[in-house]
Chains A and B, each alone.
Chain A
Amino acid sequence: MIEANFFLGWDAFDLAVELRLPGSGVTALFGPSGSGKTTLLRCIAGLEARSQGQLTVNGERWQDSASGLFVPPHKRPIGYVFQDANLFPHLTVAKNLAYGQKRVDARERRIAQDHAIELLGITHLLERMPNRLSGGERQRVGIARALLTSPRLLLMDEPLAALDYKRKMEILPYLERLHDELDIPILYVSHAPDEVVRLADHLVLMESGRAIASGETSETLARTDLPLALSEDAGVLIKGRVTGHDAAYGLLSVAFDHGQTLRLAHPPRAIGEPLRIRVQARDVSLSLERPTGSSVLNIIPARVMTVAETDNPAHRLVRLDVAGTALLARITRYSLEQLGLCRDMQVWAQIKSVALLG
């Protein structure tokens, strides 16, 4: 459990948050730039000496302004991954990695150097200087360097923001391995929805220095009362398991709560493997009767829950319930009125595309 209450005021911006976050898994701090995500992360790291508040991480108190307690950053057992890696330019990759590791008591080292180097795929880079690395390589070294301090909390400040799509796709699998293989709670700052849905178990939504929502990722994404719902990117995250693969057509079946199954074109995966699936609201259309003769693969029964406005006055966002799992559909206001949609109506949701997040 991480309890973070912070206040930090500047001329044009102030941060004021009170958060209870899970002490394990990946928590995403998500929001537009200038919303205070990075500032909050820096407060937790102890890099904002002016911050007021309390911070307790899994039972250890790191800051309590009321009693004057402020553990300086070098005494907090954290790992910090900076947006642009922030490697020491005068040290080789190997020496960058060793810098933090050798300052940690040998008995407290829980992550072996070889393991971190292998996990991030940087074995061939060890003798290079940082300015001879690509952006993606630099970022991987930065992550390994933070891990080698065996942190009890890993703070990542938009580690992928400075990278192009290709490099991003190159690093995301490494981050997923961190999540799966190491039992370190991670706070992950991002303004990219695709990273959040792929990595985060818990989601904190930041806006203008406030945390306006905090909750389980799939629940929070499906809420229609948050600014997340306004954008074209609105969508839900569904957790499911592989139930089969149709080799003849190359279709993977994934079942989620209460036996609903989605099919998608994808190479085979192990039966029973847990998967995350993203369904964007703009890819879901609704009809009152079960459509026949449709090319759409996934047509499932659903119940209308709420209707919300979006950033476009011609559009409405409909929240649906599919046997306990939330689904969002972005449809026109015209269609909404034509179909006469209202709460608890039974409809058929046609899902045009489904993205598998790994």
Chain B
Amino acid sequence: MPLTSADFAAIRLTLELATVTTLILLVIGTPIAWWLSRTQSWFKGPVGAIVALPLVLPPTVIGFYLLVAMGPNGFVGQFTESLGLGRLPFSFAGLVVGSVIYSLPFVVQPLQNAFDAIGPRPLEAAATLRASPLDCFFTVVLPLAKPGFITASILGFAHTVGEFGVVLMIGGNIPEKTRVVSVQIFDHVEAMEYAQAHWLAGGMVVFSFVVLLALYASRRRTTWS
């Protein structure tokens, strides 16, 4: 068997992290995207820019600030300690927090585009048919934005699977706790275990290809018939 139990542990951890991160992102990304799509507030620009920051910042920068904030002197660290949760760095929970921030734009932007594309008209039709705004969101907006949710989930998941810098900065390299596939590959390469690295790296290539293929296939089926 080319993969060791440590490799499998890294794969399991990666999938777990990506799943939890994607679910959290869908929950918090949806209202953010909806607000960005509907608001005419002056804050739209700044908030949109903050959400997009992880697209351009080096992952080490995000990781560095998260590490500082979540550390014993950081405001997040003091907050989590006061709640009795301990510190987040070098834990799975810390990785989740980092991944959520790192992958935020990959979920918010497709959702925002989907909401923008719906426009105000279906909402007005729903309102004249007695649907309250919340009712309308669940019965009209969500079904119409379904392609956007699929894209957002796929991108959020795949981008989390592919992260390295943020993970290394705040998660370190603790087997079965914070050592994800990308870090495991780095370890193999450092240890000159190229064969092992090939299996994992090749797997990532295939995974990414399949994900993108699924994404394009889902985009082709967005017309209603």
Contact = CB atoms under 8 A, between A and B. Distances in A.
Contacts of A75: 130
A103 interface: yes
Nearest to A81: B128
B66 to A, nearest CB: 40
B133 to A, nearest CB: 8
B121 A90 contact: no
23 contacts: A45-B128, A47-B128, A72-B127, A73-B124, A74-B128, A74-B129, A74-B132, A79-B128, A82-B121, A82-B125, A86-B121, A88-B122, A88-B125, A88-B126, A89-B122, A90-B140, A90-B143, A90-B144, A103-B131, A104-B130, A129-B225, A130-B224, A132-B225
Contacts of A89: 122, 144, 224
The interface residues of chain B, by DSSP majority, are classed as helix
Contact of A86 (B122, B130, B144, B225): B122
B41 interface: no
Interface in A275-309: none
A45 B126 CA distance: 12
Contacts of B140: 88, 90
A86 B127 contact: no
Interface residues of B, number: 21
Contacts of A46: 127
A80 B140 CA distance: 17
A89 B121 CA distance: 12
Nearest to B129: A100
B145 to A, nearest CB: 10
Contacts of A146: 128-129
Contacts of B125: 80, 82, 86-88
A87 B144 CA distance: 12
Interface in A52-76: 72-75
A202 interface: no
Contact of B129 (A47, A99, A130): A99
Contacts of B126: 74, 88, 99
Contact of A103 (B122, B129, B144): B129
B223 interface: yes
Given A46-B127, A88-B122, A146-B128, 19 more contacts: A45-B128, A47-B128, A73-B127, A74-B126, A74-B130, A74-B131, A74-B133, A82-B124, A87-B125, A88-B125, A88-B126, A88-B144, A103-B131, A129-B225, A130-B224, A145-B129, A149-B128, A149-B129, A149-B130
A90 B225 CA distance: 8
Contacts of B122: 86, 88-89
A46 B123 CA distance: 13
Nearest to A151: B128
Interface of A: 45-47, 72-75, 78-80, 82, 86-90, 99-100, 103-104, 129-132, 145-146, 149
Contacts of B136: 74
Closest 3 CB pairs of A and B: A100-B129, A80-B128, A103-B130
A129 B225 CA distance: 6
A127 to B, nearest CB: 13
B130 A131 contact: no
B77 to A, nearest CB: 44
B128 A129 contact: no
Interface string B107-141: 00000000000000110111111111101100110
Interface string B85-104: 00000000000000000000
B117 to A, nearest CB: 12
Given A90-B144, A131-B223, A131-B225, A47 B130 contact: no
Contacts of A72: 127
B36 to A, nearest CB: 20
A99 B131 contact: yes
B224 A100 contact: no
Nearest to A85: B125
Given A74-B132, A82-B121, A90 B224 contact: yes
Q: Which of A46, A88, A132 has the most CB of B within 10 A?
A: A88
Nearest to A80: B128
Contact of B127 (A74, A79, A87, A145): A74
Q: Which of B121, B125, B144 has the most CB of A within 10 A?
A: B125
Nearest to A90: B143
A128 to B, nearest CB: 10
A73 B144 CA distance: 21
Given A90-B143, A90-B144, A73 B128 contact: yes
Nearest to B146: A90
A88 B131 CA distance: 13
Contacts of A130: 224
Nearest to B125: A86
Contacts of A129: 224-225
A88 B132 CA distance: 16
Q: Which of B130, B132, B135 has the most CB of A within 10 A?
A: B130
Contacts of B130: 74-75, 100, 103-104, 149
Interface string B129-163: 11111011001100110000000000000000000
A176 B121 CA distance: 27
Contacts of B133: 74
Contacts of B143: 90
Nearest to B223: A131
